[in-house]
Copies of this chain bind each other. A is one copy, B any other.
Amino acid sequence: MSAGFTEIIAIGNELLIGDVQDTNTTWLCKRITGLGGFVARATLIRDEPATIGELLLATLRRGAAAIFTTGGLGPTADDLTLPAIAAALGRPLVELPAARDMVQATYTRLARAGYVAHDRLTDERRKMAVLPAGAEPLFNPVGAAPGVVLRESGAAIICLPGVPEELQGIFEQSLGPLLRELYGEGFYDERIIQVQSGDESALAPVVNRLAAGHPQVYVKSRAKAYGPDVRLRITLSARGDGRAAVEALLERAAGDLQRELAAIGIAVM
């Protein structure tokens, strides 16, 4: 199981004016949870360096073992994540040769394919290789901006681009060793049980008893809007060291739930 918790910081005005749905946070939460990690919090903020830096420091103070940031790594002046992090951590920004080679290789590939006019490293392209001192660049298999890993006060800060395909490409292809270091051999699983009652209030005593009787299992019921075709979803989930222990916890809880539901005449779908 993970030694500590994870937080996500999603950066971009477009998220807070409602122009773009932040799917990156949900995607990261699902992947990290599946690796046995625990995402405690996710915060969406604007492209404001002072806010980015203040929130990063607050997250470190809360004791997060891993902090993922999304967005703000691109070539334009409103891509401010790395300068803001460098300032907050008191580190200079330096052009990193390994990152520059990655950016150059991407533009060489894009120019050959005819997607961009030339492969020279302009100031704007070069900006994507300027990272806080001590950073490790992460190969981006989709776009130009490398991801970035920083170590600070025992925590790993992982900066990913905001374009979902780039974020997912870096996570899947370039983060393997770090993810194993952070989340180890932890295991997470869940069971979803759908029932044919549209009345969450009738189910509440059952759900409450189940949660009290299975403290290691997280029990959550979710109602949809009311109506004749409405279903309720009860999710049982657990984290632990290894698959066998987690499955045993869920098996016992699911058995108890189904017995309790049958006793009050609610059908499981």
Instruction: List the interface of chain A (C-beta within 8 A of B).
Output: 13-23, 25-33, 39-47, 51, 74-78, 110, 113-117, 122, 124-125, 142-144, 162-163, 165-166, 188, 190, 198-205, 207-208, 211, 218-228, 230, 235, 237
Contacts and interface: CB of A to CB of B under 8 A. Distances in A.
A99 to B, nearest CB: 15
B116 A198 contact: yes
Contacts of A33: 16-18
A14 B222 contact: yes
A143 B46 contact: no
Given A45-B41, A76-B207, A211-B78, A230 B143 contact: no
Nearest to A121: B201
How many protomers of this protein does the assembly include? 2
A219 to B, nearest CB: 7
User: 10 shortest A-B CB distances, which residue pairs?
Assistant: A18-B30, A18-B29, A124-B204, A75-B201, A124-B201, A116-B199, A77-B208, A42-B44, A165-B225, A17-B33
Given A41-B45, A45-B41, A117-B199, A226 B110 contact: yes
Nearest to A239: B17
Contacts of A46: 40-41
Nearest to A18: B30
Contacts of A28: 18
B27 A201 contact: no
B228 A114 contact: yes
B43 A17 contact: no
Contact of A17 (B30, B45, B205): B30
Nearest to A221: B76
A223 B16 contact: no
A77 B204 contact: yes
A107 to B, nearest CB: 8
16 contacts: A14-B235, A15-B29, A16-B42, A17-B188, A18-B33, A18-B39, A19-B190, A20-B26, A21-B26, A41-B46, A47-B220, A78-B207, A115-B230, A117-B202, A124-B201, A124-B204
